Chain A
Amino acid sequence: MKMGYISKFGLVCALLMVVSGCKIDPITQGMVNEDAFIKQKNQSLFLKVAGNIGSRKLVLIVHGGPGGNSLDYRDSMIKAVLEPNVAVGYWDQRFGGNSQGNAGASELADYREDLLTVVKFLRAKYGEDLKIYLMGHSWGGFLTPYFLGHADNQQWISGWIQVDGAHNYPLNDSLTEDMLAKRAVVEMAANRNVSHWKEVLDYCNSHNVSDGYEVSVKMNGYAHEAETLMDSVFAPSGSYYKEPSSSYRNNKVNGVITALLRVDSPTYDTDPDVYLGRIQVPALLLWGRFDFVCPPPLCDDLNGKIGSQDKTIQFFEHSGHSPMMNEPNLFWESVLDWVIKH
């Protein structure tokens, strides 16, 4: 007997209901390498989890940007050092990496809500006993304390790793300006890249970061350039290899989008002092000594203001804004040691 159209339709509907009704079976053992998307407010957020989930510890990377890409952090070093021992979560924020959608909300609070959803998903997928350590870098270093200091979010988190983070944008900008101006004088006196440093110094003298967003963006550009001119900053070593990521192409586009949306603009109206004191989770503060983008005094500011009793600070003497790229071995071993201890 031939199946009628109504029966076929009913069968398809039933199949869809069965598929859509699937709940998650937690994975708690062994090595994993899984990708997933989490739908949240008109965006599908990409999440990769790779490494030893049997350790019951997971480092969740909150990437920089905004508009960055979590897979940028998945290089040969993290795969060799961190992933065999603990699991690593690579989460692409909205308008970043492989996260996609037609549109979507772009408020700071939406990013915070996304992070909470990702954390809940990790616990649902990999077990409620999973210890999650947030690792925020640069712009991610703004989001992590913003998340941890809100409501009871830190109850889900076992530790916080802050890497050259921008927890306070106005302070960050003024410190960058100050560091650039001082360094310019030193470099010009030493007769190194005089024309560039003169330009930087002139700009710093004629502008103030409080003049507006455009000045901050320009200073940020000079800051990124500055660390490439420092002889003390190590270039990524030969063994440092980034796997070809499907989202490198997206970086420029996402950079443009987040710039057009001015995603990080509201950070200037956010006072981190309101919530930093609430943060009680153990904290590891990692900073590159030659970071002009988020200068080291930011680390001191954070150290003095967070409520955590368990704080560890480490400076990388041959690094700029991204010590995981300048001194990857030392960096990931430091992270691993701290995570194992906590």
Chain B
Amino acid sequence: MKKFFLKLGLSLMAIPSLSIQLTARDSFEVAYDTTLGVDNPKPQKLRPPRKEFMRETLPWNPHHDSMGLFPYRCGKYLMPISSRGTVASGFMLSNESKGFHVRFDNPYKVKTVSFPRKNYMAKVRSRSIGMELGYYSHPSLHRNIYVLGNTQWKYQARKHWNYSLTLGAGYSRTFLNNPTYKLKDGEFHRVPLAGYNYLALQMGTAVGYRIKGGASVYMGYSILSLAPYNWFLIPRKQFQLGLSLPATVFAKRATTNLPK
């Protein structure tokens, strides 16, 4: 029993002062010399644990932020970008259209596995909530601007690769890509800004490669559906290629704008 408490005490010392939820699975493997008695507590050499697990639940609401996770502000407005989050931007290509998107992902659940004994980077599983803004132009069909609320599951492997799955829903406004006419009183008149409002649903997956400073390039594939389209929905697949940066890249500049 005493050994157990000693182990636990040593382990807790290593934990950063973030809100941490320990579970039964979060065991800390601490090297411990069994020849040492409690009466003789001189540790000869403490080996770091082989793995360290950490679970965090981060606030994603900037107004309830207590850890400086949301430093990005524009004037008096706090931007919903967490310093633990990422800003991804890339091209969207298909054989029919070209476009781009910008996405902010704010992680709110993070599980980190670090390897203190080796020079590995940490394995991180995270779940994020964020926002995506996209635009594409599809000749002969329409141009589309959409805003989505996203949730993302991401796994960062201990070396470079990361994998993510994203689900999103939001609003889409299309503008017909060609002059649009309407017959009225026996004459055809041009309709300005003709287009439609749709519910946009998106599912996407991406593979990223971490390059430096938390930045990674990614290649993704997504299906964006617009509904109700002709009483149903229209799915469109898009290949994505882009760069994902940690929000801290922007946060540094933003912090200087914070009121003193």
Residues of A bordering B, CB below 8 Å: 16, 19-24, 35-40, 43-44, 46, 48, 71, 94-95, 98-104, 106, 117, 120-121, 124-125, 244, 246-247, 249-250, 253-254, 256-257, 260-261
Is B196 part of the binding interface, using a Cβ–Cβ cutoff of 8 Å? Answer: yes
Q: Is B180 in contact with A98, judged by CB distance below 8 angstroms? A: no
Is B141 part of the binding interface, using a Cβ–Cβ cutoff of 8 Å? Answer: yes
Which residues of chain B are near A22, meaning CB under 8 Å?
A: 189-190
Q: Is A37 in contact with B176, judged by CB distance below 8 angstroms? A: yes
Q: Is B232 in contact with A257, judged by CB distance below 8 angstroms? A: yes
**Could you say which of A44, A104, A106, A125 contacts B176, with CB atoms under 8 Å apart?**
A44
A-B complex: 4 closest residue pairs judged by Cβ atoms: A37-B180, A35-B178, A39-B182, A22-B190
Q: Which of B97, B138, B141 has the most CB of A within 10 A?
A: B141
Considering only CB atoms and an 8 Å cut-off, how many residues of chain B contact the other chain?
37
Is B198 part of the binding interface, using a Cβ–Cβ cutoff of 8 Å? Answer: yes
Q: Which of B138, B177, B192, B198 has the most CB of A within 10 A?
A: B192
In the bound complex, CA of A16 to CA of B192 (Å): 7
Q: Is A36 in contact with B181, judged by CB distance below 8 angstroms? A: yes
Q: Which of A19, A24, A44 has the most CB of B within 10 A?
A: A44
Which residues of chain B are near A257, meaning CB under 8 Å?
A: 230-232
Residue of A nearest to B142 (CB): A100
Given the known A-B contacts A40-B183, A103-B230, A104-B230, are A247 and B188 also in contact in the complex, defined by CB atoms under 8 Å? no
Q: Is A102 in contact with B179, judged by CB distance below 8 angstroms? A: no
The minimal Cβ–Cβ distance linking B43 to chain A, given in whole angstroms, is 67
Which residues of chain A are near B139, meaning CB under 8 Å?
A: 246
Which residues of chain B are near A37, meaning CB under 8 Å?
A: 176, 178-181, 194
Q: Is B140 in contact with A247, judged by CB distance below 8 angstroms? A: yes
Q: Is A23 in contact with B140, judged by CB distance below 8 angstroms? A: no
Which residues of chain B are near A261, meaning CB under 8 Å?
A: 231
Residue of A nearest to B180 (CB): A37
Is B214 part of the binding interface, using a Cβ–Cβ cutoff of 8 Å? Answer: no
Which residues of chain A are near B188, meaning CB under 8 Å?
A: 23-24, 38, 120-121, 124-125
Q: Is A39 in contact with B140, judged by CB distance below 8 angstroms? A: no
Given the known A-B contacts A20-B192, A35-B178, A249-B236, are A100 and B140 also in contact in the complex, defined by CB atoms under 8 Å? no
Residue of B nearest to A18 (CB): B192
In the bound complex, CA of A19 to CA of B198 (Å): 25
Q: Is B231 in contact with A247, judged by CB distance below 8 angstroms? A: no
Is B8 part of the binding interface, using a Cβ–Cβ cutoff of 8 Å? Answer: no
Q: Is B194 in contact with A39, judged by CB distance below 8 angstroms? A: yes
Q: Is B235 in contact with A253, judged by CB distance below 8 angstroms? A: yes
Residue of A nearest to B227 (CB): A102
In the bound complex, CA of A131 to CA of B97 (Å): 35
Q: Is A253 in contact with B232, judged by CB distance below 8 angstroms? A: yes
Is B96 part of the binding interface, using a Cβ–Cβ cutoff of 8 Å? Answer: yes
Q: Is A120 in contact with B183, judged by CB distance below 8 angstroms? A: yes
Q: Is B229 in contact with A102, judged by CB distance below 8 angstroms? A: yes
Residue of A nearest to B231 (CB): A103
Which residues of chain A are near B96, meaning CB under 8 Å?
A: 244, 246, 249
Q: B187-203 vs A: 1/0 string, CB under 8 Å?
A: 11111101011100000
Is B34 part of the binding interface, using a Cβ–Cβ cutoff of 8 Å? Answer: no
Q: B216-253 vs A: 1/0 string, CB under 8 Å?
A: 00000000000011111111110000000000000000
Which residues of chain A are near B236, meaning CB under 8 Å?
A: 249
Q: Is A103 in contact with B194, judged by CB distance below 8 angstroms? A: no
Is B95 part of the binding interface, using a Cβ–Cβ cutoff of 8 Å? Answer: yes
Q: Is A98 in contact with B141, judged by CB distance below 8 angstroms? A: yes
Which residues of chain A are near B197, meaning CB under 8 Å?
A: 102
Write 8 A-B pairs (CB below 8 A) sorted by A numbering: A24-B190, A37-B178, A43-B230, A95-B231, A99-B230, A103-B228, A103-B230, A121-B181
The minimal Cβ–Cβ distance linking A196 to chain B, given in whole angstroms, is 33
The minimal Cβ–Cβ distance linking B178 to chain A, given in whole angstroms, is 4
The minimal Cβ–Cβ distance linking B85 to chain A, given in whole angstroms, is 33
In the bound complex, CA of A94 to CA of B229 (Å): 12
Given the known A-B contacts A24-B181, A38-B182, A39-B194, are A98 and B140 also in contact in the complex, defined by CB atoms under 8 Å? yes
In the bound complex, CA of A225 to CA of B192 (Å): 46
Task: List residues of B (115-164) whose CB comes within 8 Å of A's CBs.
Answer: 138-142
Q: Is A102 in contact with B95, judged by CB distance below 8 angstroms? A: no
In the bound complex, CA of A248 to CA of B187 (Å): 32
Which residues of chain B are near A24, meaning CB under 8 Å?
A: 181, 188, 190
Q: Is B181 in contact with A254, judged by CB distance below 8 angstroms? A: no
Q: A19-B190, A19-B192 are in contact. List 11 more A-B contacts (CB 8 A).
A: A21-B189, A22-B190, A37-B179, A37-B181, A39-B194, A46-B140, A99-B230, A100-B230, A253-B230, A254-B230, A261-B231
Q: Is A36 in contact with B178, judged by CB distance below 8 angstroms? A: yes
Residue of B nearest to A47 (CB): B178
Q: Is B180 in contact with A44, judged by CB distance below 8 angstroms? A: yes
Q: Is A247 in contact with B141, judged by CB distance below 8 angstroms? A: yes
Residue of B nearest to A252 (CB): B235
Which residues of chain A are near B178, meaning CB under 8 Å?
A: 35-37, 46
Residue of A nearest to B181 (CB): A38
Task: List residues of B (9-58) whose CB comes within 8 Å of A's CBs.
Answer: none
The minimal Cβ–Cβ distance linking A106 to chain B, given in whole angstroms, is 8
